[in-house]
Structure 1
Amino acid sequence: MNTQYVAELNQESVNELTMNTNFFAPQPIYGGDRPSDCTQKNTYFCPSRKGPTDEWKCIKLEDLCDSHPDCPNYEDENPTICMFHVLLRNQLQIFAKIVKSALENKRGKE
């Protein structure tokens, strides 16, 4: 095989891989030195932070999937996660209403 041809193919592959990549853009930082718990009660860590010197951000459960990004890299508004979160939250609300209604009916009969 012609070595010049192989070199050109390799250069094309490198160009394709790097053309739309900004190697200097900040990348999310996952895991690592994250503390085990948020300091505020009933809050949860965002899964990433913008850079290694940034603080880990905590959000409330109510802030998850509320159409307002709270985590530095918007993980709290991830459409796939939010689809399941919203469905589960709605089903739990329906279940809570059914249980409440059943308890009220039982108290009314006593």
Structure 2
Amino acid sequence: MEAFNKYSSNPQKYDVIFMDAQMPVMDGIEATQEILEFEEEEGINHIPIIVVTANVLKGDRERFLGAGMDDYISKPIKKEELLRVLENISKNKYSKILKKKKI
């Protein structure tokens, strides 16, 4: 909930969101869905959401990406993976076309 509240109160402040998959009140998937809905409702540019998780079982990556997250980094974070994600962000590889706000 805190991640969503911080982002939604000042979305232009952020270039990327590193989302923990397991948070106490609202998990990373729920927070991601709230953020995606907010972006669509407000008609604002999508901010890449990168899940950071210790969940590395078969299918976990696909589950997170299927929930709307843009990429996946496992814990402990490896420098090469972080650099790969940052490079993708700099090349706008996580851009999403959002629907315009309905009036």
TM-score normalised to structure 1 length = 0.22
Q: Which has the higher helix share?
A: 1
| TM-score normalised according to structure 2 size | 0.23
